[in-house]
Amino acid sequence: MKVAIIDGYVDEPACFGVPPYISPYIRYIAGALVERGIGRDNISYFTIDGIRNSKKEDLALLGRADLVVILSGMTVPGKYLRSSPITLKEIEYLCRAASGVKVIGGPIRLGYSSEGGMAASALEMADENVFVARQDIEAFVYDIIGSGPCIEDPDNVEHRMRTVGEIGRWAYKGAFIIRRHPDFPNIMCEMETYRGCGRDTHCSFCTEFFYGPSTYRPVEDVVAEAASLYNEGALFFRLGRQPDLFTYHAVDLGDSLLRPDPQALESLYSGIRKVAPELEVLHMDNANPATIATYPDECSKIMKTILKYHTSGDVAAMGMESADPAVIRANNLKAMPDDVFEAVKLMNDIGSIRGSNGLSHLLPGLNFVHGLAGETKKTFGLNYDFLKNILDNDLLLRRINIRQVMPFSGTPAAEQQLPLAKNRKMFLKYKEKVRKDIDLPMLKRVVPEGTILKDVLCEVWGEGSVGTFGRQMGSYPILVGISEKLPLGEFVDVRVTGHGFRSISATVFRE
């Protein structure tokens, strides 16, 4: 039995899988297939970029596969340097090109730019060999493979969520698949510590609560996964698939916020370092500013643990969403502005020291969402004033992400009267003002002219004065425009020579 896995890339609030990242879902799927008795040699792996650039004979492999698994789904908007997620037209084309059973799944089950879930279902209705995994794609793939192995009737297979125990096995068994990624070994392995939202009330627009209450993976499972990836040649890791790393194995005291467990994070980080001693990047992603503001002592311990074991240039993305109390209340958001400010300040106090790669060890990033219920002209001013206060207090932010809401069916935002359309011009003007007045001086502060940035990966060629665009491997890396045309896929050290709103210019640093 031959299986083809197509990585159409995913982009969620708590998971990223666009190159140079590879999502954990791919490894779960591959591991589930292996556990069902399908040999590694009978599992083919394609990225959508690889298919776009492939030869006809490569595409013919899809036509000969008994099962084609397509992972896809964007539940947050994104901009990408050299890769882009699969489109609905491409999914339709691949379903026509493949003659075997086709399974589509991943975050697309929740929607794809708000409409993908419905579009995928339409494909399913039009082709009796197309099936949409309405819960976890890895569990659905595992369940449709019977003994033999052979494909059971997918119509009779129950759609379900996978268990923590299953992905503990599948992540380990599926680690081999990373070697087949076109960018290997220069890939960031996104790793999951837990998923689901433990809050009693959820943010109006977020899709994380669709995964249910928080389900924590055992520390030993995550460490074993890191070991398996490291043994396959992985050097770049991010603990990114969770809504708030600081509440990994948190304690429920009956309050609205769980109390962090610093020992769990100590065990996790020390364990990863023990099994992957020569790793080159160990970063994190999401942090809830309300957790940090409510439990500063516990979170201070966690930050110090992170600094002890991680690599510099780390970023904790904090979902602030809005500095307008009216918007915060109307959308069940997580933290008031004063809470976010305290969280940003605490992380600066502990993490702003510059590390070996040229960047601060650990800095916060802030995410803002516009178009939410309750938004008025005043909202834009409050958001700007909050950021200006951060700047005026000499605090550092690595990243300010300003995006428009993508309301998905089943979330409160989908039922609300959203105001973004009438505020569109105001939104664009405000965004430009933030880029000019906040982002630019902040970036100059984060990476002053003359800073040496280590190990910048050359990714695409530019034009004019920019010969090459590159980035360091890590969480939210800074885009670097290098004055020379350099071999793609190589790492270079650079000296910062200038700044844009969200990128820098540099020359190659040669000692």
Task: Report the distance separating Cα 189 and Cα 176, nearest Å.
Answer: 12
Supply 502's token pair. Answer: 């969200």
Q: How much is the pLDDT for 150?
A: 79
Q: Which of 203, 128, 139 lies closest to 165, judged by CA?
A: 139
Q: Is 433 helix (H, G, I), strand (E, B) or coil?
A: helix
- Report pTM: 0.93
Strands (E), 215-300: 215-216, 236-241, 281-284, 286-287
Q: How much is the pLDDT for 58?
A: 66
Domains of the chain, CATH where assigned: 1-162 (3.40.50), 184-444 (3.80.30.20), 449-506 (2.40.50.140)
Rounded to 5°, angle at Cα 314 from 309 and 390: 130
Task: Report the distance separating Cα 232 and Cα 205, nearest Å.
Answer: 38
What phi and psi values does residue 429 have, to the nearest 5 degrees? -65, -45
Q: How much is the pLDDT for 421?
A: 46
Q: How much is the pLDDT for 196?
A: 81
Helix extents (H) in 276-367: 289-294, 296-309, 325-330, 337-351
Task: Report the distance separating Cα 408 and Cα 210, nearest Å.
Answer: 11
Q: How much is the pLDDT for 114?
A: 45
Rounded to 5°, angle at Cα 342 from 338 and 344: 115
Residue carrying structure tokens 């697309």: 108
Is the CB of residue 217 less than 8 Å from the CB of residue 167? Answer: yes
Task: Report the distance separating Cα 40 and Cα 2, nearest Å.
Answer: 10
Q: How much is the pLDDT for 258?
A: 87
The rounded average pLDDT for each run of 10 residues, N- to C-terminus, in the chain (511 residues) is 94 88 97 96 94 76 89 83 88 88 89 54 68 93 86 87 96 97 95 83 66 88 98 97 93 80 98 98 95 96 98 96 92 90 98 96 95 88 97 96 75 56 77 96 97 96 88 95 95 97 93 77
Q: How much is the pLDDT for 279?
A: 98
Task: Report the distance separating Cα 79 and Cα 54, nearest Å.
Answer: 24
